[in-house]
Amino acid sequence: MERSSIIERVLRAVLLTLIVIFFLFPIVWILLMSFQTNEQILRIPPSLSFVPTLENYKALISGHLLTSAGSLDIAFMRNLGNSVLLSTCAVVLALILGVPAAYAFARFKFWLSEDIAFTLLSFRFAPPLLVLLPLSLYFQDLGLVDTYVGLIWVYQLIALPLILWIVRGYFEDISPDIENAYRIAGHSWLRTFFKIAVPLAGPGIAAAGLLSFIFCWNNFVFALVLASADKQPVTVGALAFVTASGIQYGQVAAAIVLSVTPTLLLALYAQRWLVEGLSLGAVKG
């Protein structure tokens, strides 16, 4: 009995380690690459021993890329700033629009409500490229091509359905009686929404916000088509590392590390809001 449980434990530890190595290997490899020069990365056979260099990061932050073919200006920090601006604005806008809409879909059954909710979800099914061609034509007419406003608007295709559907589920999980009790206590429905519904759906709103932030951050194709260099986020900006003299692997790796960091920090910070079970104990089941 005792022996088999030890074997079990060891086996479990080994398997878990294997899985962690399998999933973390690319990230660790990229982290290591970001501290190497292009020559070190490309040497054959590859080796794990190298003298770490901060050249890649320096080049990215200063905006001057030195290649064997000469020096090149890149706008990586500007791209990073664009990413932060676009994703944050898109998510904030989607929250402002999506949370009340999710509440309406959760609480009220109005004419065509299910159809409208489904149509909004279906934005996620459509391949972006299918939407992009007509969209870029319309945007040209409207003068929205290459503007932050236009991009933030298009990002709603990513963020809004996600927030709507995740938050709706959380609102539906709140017992309507809790809201009814607050109404009967003499509070208006607007107050009830802000004081009862939103705080109780808090973890869901945080989760949906974080998730849609990550999706917006990782978006590539909308910004590629609809924005020029000075409005582009990091995902598109990374293309600049494919230079005439070859791909700058070291800088690409450093850029990835830098661009992953904000989302990682946000996820770590938001973790505390994702605690479930807030509504435990309110209602006798």
181, 264, 274, 275: which one binds other proteins (CB under 8 A): 181
Does the protein bind other proteins through residue 178 (CB under 8 A)?
yes
Q: Which of residues 109-138 bind other proteins (CB under 8 A)?
A: none
Shortest distance, position 189 Cβ to other proteins, whole Å = 8
CA distance 65 to 209: 35
Closer CB to other proteins, 142 or 181, in the complex: 181
- What span, in angstroms and rounded, lies between the C-alpha atoms of 69 and 244? 8
Sign of CA dihedral 17, 23, 25, 27: negative
Cβ–Cβ under 8 Å, residues 260 and 31: no
Bridging pattern class, strands 242-243 and 70-73: unpaired
Q: How far is the CB of 76 from other proteins (least distance, A)?
A: 43
- Closer residue to other proteins in complex, CB, 58/191: 191
Shortest Å, Cβ 60 to other proteins: 44
DSSP assignment of 69-136 equals: TEEEE--HHHHHHHHHHHHHHHHHHHHHHHHHHHHHHHH---TTHHHHHHHHHHTTTS-HHHHHHHHH
Amino acid at 284: K
Contacting other proteins (CB under 8 A), which of 119, 140, 180, 245? 180
Q: Show contacts with other proteins in window 186-205 (CB under 8 A).
A: 186-189, 191, 196, 199-200
Binding residue count for other proteins, defined by CB under 8 A: 24
Provide the minimum distance between the beta carbon of 96 and other proteins in the complex, in angstroms, as a whole number. 22
Reported in sequence order, the residue ranges of the chain that DSSP labels E, i.e. its strands, are 64-67, 70-73, 242-243, 246-247
Q: With binding defined as CB under 8 A, does residue 274 bind other proteins? A: no
- CA distances 281 to 75, 170, 197, 201, Å, are 53, 16, 16, 15
87: exposed, middle or buried (C-beta count within 10 Å: 0-12, 13-18, 19+)?
buried
Under rule CB under 8 A, residue 278 binds other proteins: yes
Peptide bond into 127 cis (omega under 30): no
177 binds other proteins (CB under 8 A): yes
Choices 41-49, 77-85, 176-184, 252-260; region in contact with other proteins by CB under 8 A:
176-184
Complex with other proteins: residue 175 or 271, whichever CB lies closer: 175
> How many angstroms separate the CA atoms of 157 and 159, rounded?
6
Which residue in 253, 213, 259 sits closest to 233, CA to CA? 259
Give the nearer residue to other proteins in terms of CB position, either 42 or 181. Answer: 181
183 binds other proteins (CB under 8 A): yes
The reply on whether position 282 binds other proteins by CB under 8 A is yes
Q: Binding segment for other proteins among 13-21, 115-123, 155-163, 179-187 (CB under 8 A)?
A: 179-187
- Of residues 126 and 282, the one with the C-beta less far from other proteins: 282
Q: Give helix then strand counts, H and E, for the chain.
A: 14, 4
CB of 194 to other proteins, least distance (A): 12
Residues near other proteins, by CB under 8 A: 175, 177-178, 180-189, 191, 196, 199-200, 278-284
